[in-house]
A and B are shown apart, each in its own frame.
Chain A
């Protein structure tokens, strides 16, 4: 990897740390850039070299291409790892780096451009014979878009042409307020992605979301690292991912993975990418989109295959060839990832803020925590509410579930409301255990998944709260023993 001398990590949180760790292990110097609000974050603390960036908002700072170019110039980094989110799938960014002679650790700009645009990606894939759901693309004829959407058939899913991560997506069940929803979707697209173009496709009831990790090098080699099941979503965002998918038979698995590699090959994909599919209860699957970057949930793949995907990205970016074949990549055991988010699951996933007063990560066989926070850190609404990821590996799914549950229970995060208990609740659900889930599962089971406290637990909680309330205990200590012993006595 002589070509890569120093890598700038153009991201934050857990992924910045995760990339840094691989760099360190590979002996490649890494630079962590950060905004002031992240100055206490673990990646910043662990980095040997850091670079302070500024922006109108913290998010804007991380999205500012100039910042990154300047950072490379200043630090002498000749490669940039974008992580996921922010500028990871931004073609102009990849272009700008190329112009500055900095290696972008990811696919080429034109591939990003092609696949990053849902509409063009879809057309491209469809044209090459891969399965795609009925759809309407605004760009084709913006004037008739609403009518064409209606023709796709309800329910229909409207989403921004650019974008991902579920932002700005909406399901419309009938034509009554379709125009209005379209307009709203456009506004959100503009707001999130500075791109108001929309795209609509048939909404498949109770679908699963299954994706395949693919990899390509600069030498025409393409492999997949098997699938990931990502059906557990709240507000269109994944919170539990696992592999292998409990839904697929070996044949189906083979079919879907082969299709994914085919698409990667078709676009000449370089580096790590993910091809996402909608998997209907009937067994059909449709191409959904391709994410031209590392995924949040990539660790489950690492767990069952044994590969360090970031390391592989570096190698590909450095121009090295994949030194393994598809046959070398085997799926062993089972892995589940839980996204630990600062949010109140019982209050419609309202983002939670506060100071992390106590953090204690779970440990044990098969447990991996990719965390972006440490004790004492303030959690704000400046960024995504995800604090860390808990990734668990076990020989089989059943053991993996119970191991994950135990790890969630052992995961102490105090000061900010998190979803650990909610995740635990999901893992306890009989439908989850039997693997019988779909992307609407959480919404459908919301009531079942609400927390409830037994009388016994409540007693302990109130007792703990009372006994650790210093002011209360001081006030109690003010009461002379005699009177306390008599209690509410009246003569």
Chain B
């Protein structure tokens, strides 16, 4: 495989400007992430301390194999929700290694509102369990939650992907023979009690862990019975009397050590075999991405420069290099795993869409996972293209992509607009994971375009009512719309709403993809099959 020849000059003014801009953006991103991870009100930390409970991040370090990576999902979930008072949606999820096994970790963050479940908490947990199901990953639940956040119960409780889905997914995992461990470090009340109960193995920490369908106050209210937490659902009761919990632990570190021991008993998954090659670091420094990604999202740049900084040895076998050039397709290796990459280099035309459909089929046939690098404003519009059947060519691409049996991975590296988001395997299309870069944007159309369209409508309405608007009036309407749109388009908004699995530092993309691909191979790849292509 040939090495991509980069045309980037790291000494150029443009590069340095881009780099400085990215430094600013990344700095902001890291600060936000740091804050979401570690900054807590003093009294919450004191409370944990008083309860002899560990901070969720420390729990993770006790659980995970030392010196191994952890791919955290959606660290900025709920960033814009609940006035920003629920960092990370009060739960930490991610893939890590425990006793050498790839596992999904779902850890309630009791330092945020006692670990109460907000609607986005539940969404994040359900998503993590979906990832576990899709990738057949054992799950380790670290339970420490005050329970559903009552004022928002309607967002937590009833819907298909609300809290019930957590337990439903647990059952599916069990049915699929994918083990789960629950470590009960705090209270598991009401529905939450089912998290340990539906786990194959559970550990409960003496003195702090408790499991009950109704806690002492509720019991008192319902039946008048007065009972202590320990007697109602404490460690010793459940491990000796009810059998609802399996392993008593004297303290949290011991509980995590037990969990590690349990995980060591898990059968190792039989991995789907795909093509691999010896691992090679990218020839070009991934940090050069900072200077490659333009300051202005609308400035076009060559996606090959991105590929060169993600793949092994910066080597890339480009498929149909002369055809449908607005979509770059080809094979490469990431951490040794062979992948088929589709990266946008402009608007999707008929030929680019057909090229995509063809290349996706090839990858399905030879069981090569797909990586989509989205930087797309959509499919080409206009008479020529409609006459050529842009819709049905786009539909071919969707049919091939939506019908794929190989795992798909999406990184939104720039814009993700219109049907391009769909064609390039957006959220609705079941990418195993979907990440965004900090400057990425996602929406039906760009903010400016949307704002203009809306202002047009408003102006026409006013005109109908006989009012003519001055430039200033129009600006006054436009500006707030623009601002609100820009927010809604931003990666931060997307990640807040869990439309993605998290924002990535571009230089982290290689590792994130490497881990995601490795995990995806726990599920066997079916034989290929498609729907009907509209030819």
Contact = CB atoms under 8 A, between A and B. Distances in A.
Instruction: Indicate if A touches B (C-beta under 8 A).
Output: yes
Interface of A: 475, 477-491
Contact of A491 (B65, B100, B336, B502): B502
Contacts of B335: 482, 485
B515 interface: yes
Nearest to A479: B100
A491 B68 contact: no
Contacts of B72: 490-491
Interface in B286-331: none
7 contacts: A479-B65, A480-B100, A486-B69, A486-B515, A489-B69, A491-B511, A491-B512
Given A483-B68, A487-B67, A490-B72, A478 B100 contact: yes
B511 A489 contact: yes
Nearest to B66: A488
A480 B67 CA distance: 12
Q: Output the residue of B69, B70, B279, B518 with the most chain A CB within 10 A.
A: B69
Contacts of B65: 479, 483
A486 B71 CA distance: 11
B504 interface: yes
A485 B68 CA distance: 8
B514 interface: yes
Interface in B500-531: 502, 504-505, 508, 511-512, 514-515, 518
B514 A486 contact: yes
B67 A491 contact: no
Given A485-B279, A485-B335, A489-B511, A479 B69 contact: no
Given A478-B264, A491-B505, 6 more contacts: A483-B69, A483-B518, A486-B68, A487-B68, A487-B69, A491-B504
A478 B518 contact: no
Contacts of A480: 97, 100, 102, 518
A486 B100 contact: no
A491 B99 contact: no
Contacts, number: 60
5 A-B pairs closest in CB distance: A478-B100, A489-B69, A486-B69, A483-B68, A491-B508
A489 B513 CA distance: 13
A476 B138 CA distance: 20
Nearest to A476: B100
A485 B97 CA distance: 13
A486 B511 contact: yes
B99 A478 contact: yes
B68 A484 contact: yes
Given A480-B518, A485-B279, A485-B335, A490 B100 contact: no
A474 to B, nearest CB: 9
Nearest to A483: B68
Contacts of A478: 99-101, 264
Contacts of A479: 65, 68, 97, 100
Contacts of A482: 279, 335-336, 514-515, 518
A135 B445 CA distance: 110
Contacts of B279: 481-482, 485
A124 to B, nearest CB: 71
Given A478-B100, A479-B97, A482-B335, A490 B69 contact: yes
Q: Output the residue of B99, B336, B502, B515 with the most chain A CB within 10 A.
A: B515
Interface of B: 65-72, 75, 97, 99-102, 264, 279, 335-336, 502, 504-505, 508, 511-512, 514-515, 518
Contacts of B66: 488
A490 B99 contact: no
Contacts of B512: 491
A482 B102 CA distance: 11
A423 to B, nearest CB: 39
A488 B65 CA distance: 9
Given A488-B69, A490-B69, A483 B515 contact: yes
Q: Output the residue of B65, B75, B505, B518 with the most chain A CB within 10 A.
A: B65
Contacts of B75: 491
B97 A491 contact: no
A490 B61 CA distance: 12
A478 B268 CA distance: 10
Contacts of B336: 482
A487 B68 CA distance: 5
Nearest to B279: A485
Nearest to A484: B68
A486 B336 CA distance: 13
A482 B519 CA distance: 11
Contacts of A487: 67-69
Contacts of A485: 279, 335
Nearest to A491: B508
Contacts of B68: 479, 483-484, 486-488
A491 B71 contact: yes
A482 B69 CA distance: 9
Contacts of B97: 479-480, 483
A485 B312 CA distance: 13
Nearest to B510: A486
A481 B100 CA distance: 10
Nearest to B75: A491
Given A479-B65, A479-B100, A490 B70 contact: yes
A261 B433 CA distance: 95
Nearest to B95: A483
Contacts of A489: 69-70, 508, 511
Nearest to A474: B100
Contacts of A491: 71-72, 75, 502, 504-505, 508, 511-512
A488 B515 contact: no
Contacts of B99: 475, 478
Contact of B67 (A477, A481, A488, A490): A488
A119 B336 CA distance: 85
Contacts of B511: 486, 489, 491
A480 to B, nearest CB: 7
A487 B515 CA distance: 12
Nearest to B73: A491
A489 B70 CA distance: 6
A35 B282 CA distance: 69
A486 B97 CA distance: 12
